[in-house]
Chains A and B, each alone.
Chain A
Amino acid sequence: MSHKGTSTFIMQRASAVILIPIAIWFLWSLMAHAGEDLAGAEAWLKKPLNFGLFGTFVTIGALHGRIGVSEVIDDYIHGGMRGLFSALNWVVAIAVIAVTWWSLLSL
């Protein structure tokens, strides 16, 4: 946490800028494909562009979200609990990224 303010600030903005076009792609895809069955979902995820963008959206999104949640933790959680919440925050981000890539790679 300490001595990382500037790099965290830059990472939050850089990830935000990367996420904007990918989020637009994601919302567009959701609009076009929501409600498709398993075969449709699998075929969609197996297309290289969707595979790459979906994985990137979840990965950068989870890392960007971890930074945001860490700001909330720093504002409202004090004392020993802060370390626990910060660790949980990392666990959630890493688990989301790991499960997503495991799933994508096992298609």
Chain B
Amino acid sequence: MTTGADHAAKVGPAGTTHGERQAMPLSPHLQVWKFTVTMAASITQRATGIANVSGTVLLAAWAFSVARGPESFGPFAKFLTSPLGMIILFGYVWSLCFHMLGGLRYLYTDTGRGLVPATASRVAWFVYIASFVLAGLIALGATAARGA
């Protein structure tokens, strides 16, 4: 028979038991949830983070094409200035804007502030709106620079 004291004695310091590791805590349940803007912003932060990783792959490929010369740069630049390329570029710009603004939101909430639901929701809405405004301004600026 195992007593509570026996069990307690078997539990190690960091929540581990002898001979077996405790399972890592997992993400919230996938079917039980309610829509909140902070939840959406959290998911978008992850999605844009993954998109930004693809963006760094794109930047590495771009630098590589510059180093390789006209045979590599020509087709690459042609793709980037095609409609699909422009959509990818705008998506990357927006993704960077969102992730940067969302990241500032997390750096702020990491200090224990701005966690009241009403405030957190307002800040999350602001991140969505500001990211589109910023990306739009960059796209407009780029169009103006190309036209000039």
Main SS class of interface, A: helix
- Number of A residues with CB within 8 Å of any CB on chain B: 44
Residues of B within 8 A of A (CB): 24, 26-27, 46, 49-50, 52-53, 55-57, 59-64, 66-70, 73-74, 77, 81, 89, 93, 96-97, 100, 103-104, 106-107, 110, 134, 138, 141-142, 145-146
**Is B53 a contact of A65 with CB atoms below 8 Å?**
yes
CA separation between A66 and B67, bound complex, in Å? 25
User: Closest Cβ of chain B: how far from A58's Cβ, in Å?
Assistant: 5
B81 touches which one: A20, A35, A65 (CB < 8 A)?
A: A35
Q: Which residues of A contact B52 (CB under 8 A)?
A: 61, 65
B56 touches which one: A30, A74, A76, A96 (CB < 8 A)?
A: A96
B107 touches which one: A17, A31, A75 (CB < 8 A)?
A: A17
Q: What are 23 inter-chain pairs, A to B, with CB distance below 8 A?
A: A16-B106, A16-B107, A20-B100, A24-B100, A30-B93, A31-B145, A34-B89, A38-B73, A38-B74, A38-B77, A45-B66, A58-B63, A68-B49, A68-B53, A69-B49, A75-B27, A96-B59, A97-B60, A99-B64, A100-B60, A100-B64, A104-B67, A107-B67
